Amino acid sequence: MRCPNCGSLDDKVLESRTMVNGESIRRRRECIACGYRFTSYERIDEKPFMVIKRDGRRQPFDSQKLSKGIERALEKRPVSTNMVEQITNDIEDQAIKISKEAREISTSDLGELVLEMLYEVDKVAYIRFASVYRHFEDLDEFITEVRNIEKRGKK
Ligand SMILES: [Zn+2]
| Sheet bearing 50-52, strands edge to edge | 58-60, 50-52, 104-106
Q: How far is the CA of 41 from the centre of ligand 1 (A)?
A: 18
pLDDT of 155 strictly over 80: no
Q: How far is the CA of 38 from the centre of ligand 1 (A)?
A: 10
Q: How far is the CA of 1 from the centre of ligand 1 (A)?
A: 10
Q: Kindly tell me the sign of the dihedral angle through the C-alpha atoms of 58, 73, 94, 38.
A: positive
Q: How far is the CA of 12 from the centre of ligand 1 (A)?
A: 11
Burial string for 95-106 (b: 16+ CB within 10 Å, else e) reads: beeebeeeebbe
Q: How far is the CA of 117 from the centre of ligand 1 (A)?
A: 35
Q: How far is the CA of 28 from the centre of ligand 1 (A)?
A: 14
Protein residues with C-beta less than 5 angstroms from the ion ligand 1: 3, 5-6, 8, 31, 33-34, 36
Burial of 152 (0-12, 13-18, 19+ CB in 10 A): exposed
**pLDDT given at position 114:** 93
Q: SS3 letters for the chain?
A: CCCCCCCCCCEEEEEEEECCCCCEEEEEEEECCCCCEEEEEEECCCCCCEEECCCCCEEECCHHHHHHHHHHHCCCCCCCHHHHHHHHHHHHHHHHHHHHHHCEEEHHHHHHHHHHHHHHHCHHHHHHHHHHHCCCCCHHHHHHHHHHHHHHHHC
Q: What is the pLDDT of residues 41-93, one digit of tens each?
A: 887 666 778 999 889 999 999 888 898 889 989 999 998 888 898 899 899 98
**pLDDT given at position 139:** 67
Q: What is the pLDDT of residues 82-136, one digit of tens each?
A: 889 889 989 998 998 898 888 899 988 999 899 999 999 999 999 888 888 777 6
